Amino acid sequence: MSAAAPVWRARVFTLLPGVFPGPLGASLAGAALKKGIWVLETVDIRGFARDKHRTVDDAPFGGGPGMVMRPDVLAAAIDGTGGGDGRLIYLSPRGRILDQALARELAAEPVVGLICGRFEGVDERVLEARGIEDVSLGDFVLSGGEIAAMALIDTVVRLLPGVIGDPAGLKDESFEAGLLEHPQYTRPQVWEDRAVPKVLLSGHHAEIEAWRRSQAEAVTRTRRPDLWSRFSARKKGEVRS
């Protein structure tokens, strides 16, 4: 009998534990959560505050607007819940952009801790002291890290064994080969005088595969020239080697 796949664990450090699981409790992620393929833990950072007012933030040294999450409180939350036994990530606009490659890295980790900031962010010292990585969804700002954490978790969970019905379907998705996904079509065959491309009705799998590849390349070249440049550079490197 083969050993069961290890359970992937997401540990979320947040001031808003009540917002979870949110959309993670539905669809593929929700079904996988019920099956025990992955586990969601929420840690209320405020529960580790040391004063009667449960204070988690303070004014920034050097002045400026807003408040900063205290390093002692966040460190206590991490240390008090075994948060240091896995990879720790702080959802931050200044971090490494979340992409499919990073999602695959995180899917291979048994435990991933996700720190959801609020206010103006968290004290830099706790990030350094606990080896916390910065990861960003993109070049924009959210009110807090909770939505970003949900997006990251969903991205990772769908890569776990047993979540997607046909794992082969993952290989054609956007970014898996460094390209955006090709266009998709379904019934009706003709809709508002727009017909499905004939090649998709041909039954010739090699021709369909070639068409899909050419479409993926065209879409990427037109809509994401940054991705296309990286893809082209990688292909040139493969040819030289």
Q: What is the DSSP letter of 180?
A: P
Rg (alpha carbons) of the chain, rounded to whole number: 22
133 phi/psi in degrees, rounded to 5: -90, 145
pLDDT at position 1, please?
Answer: 40
Distances (CA, A) of 125 to 56, 71, 75, 132: 15, 7, 10, 10
The pLDDT tens digits of the residues spanning 154-171 come to 999 999 999 997 766 565
- What is residue 86's three-state secondary structure? coil
Residue 173: the pLDDT is 57
Question: DSSP readout, 135-165?
Answer: EESSSS--SSSHHHHHHHHHHHHTTSTTTSS
Task: Give residues with Cβ within 8 angstroms of 112, minimum separation 6.
Answer: 8, 9, 10, 11, 86, 87, 89, 106, 156
pLDDT digits (tens, 9 = 90+) for 66-123: 999 999 999 999 999 987 678 999 999 999 999 999 999 999 999 999 999 988 899 9
- Residue 130 C-beta-side C-alpha neighbours within 13 Å: 31
Q: What is the per-residue pLDDT for 6?
A: 81
Task: Name the token pair of 59.
Answer: 């004014």
pLDDT at 20: 98
- Domains in the chain, CATH or no CATH each: 8-157 (3.40.1280.10), 168-240 (1.10.1270.20)
CA distances from 215 to 197, 206, 209, 223 (A): 12, 14, 10, 12
Q: What is the pLDDT of residues 120-143, one digit of tens each?
A: 899 999 999 999 999 999 999 999
The pLDDT tens digits of the residues spanning 173-228 come to 556 678 999 999 999 999 999 999 999 999 999 999 999 999 999 999 999 999 99
User: What are the start-end ranges of the H helices in 88-136?
Assistant: 100-107, 124-129
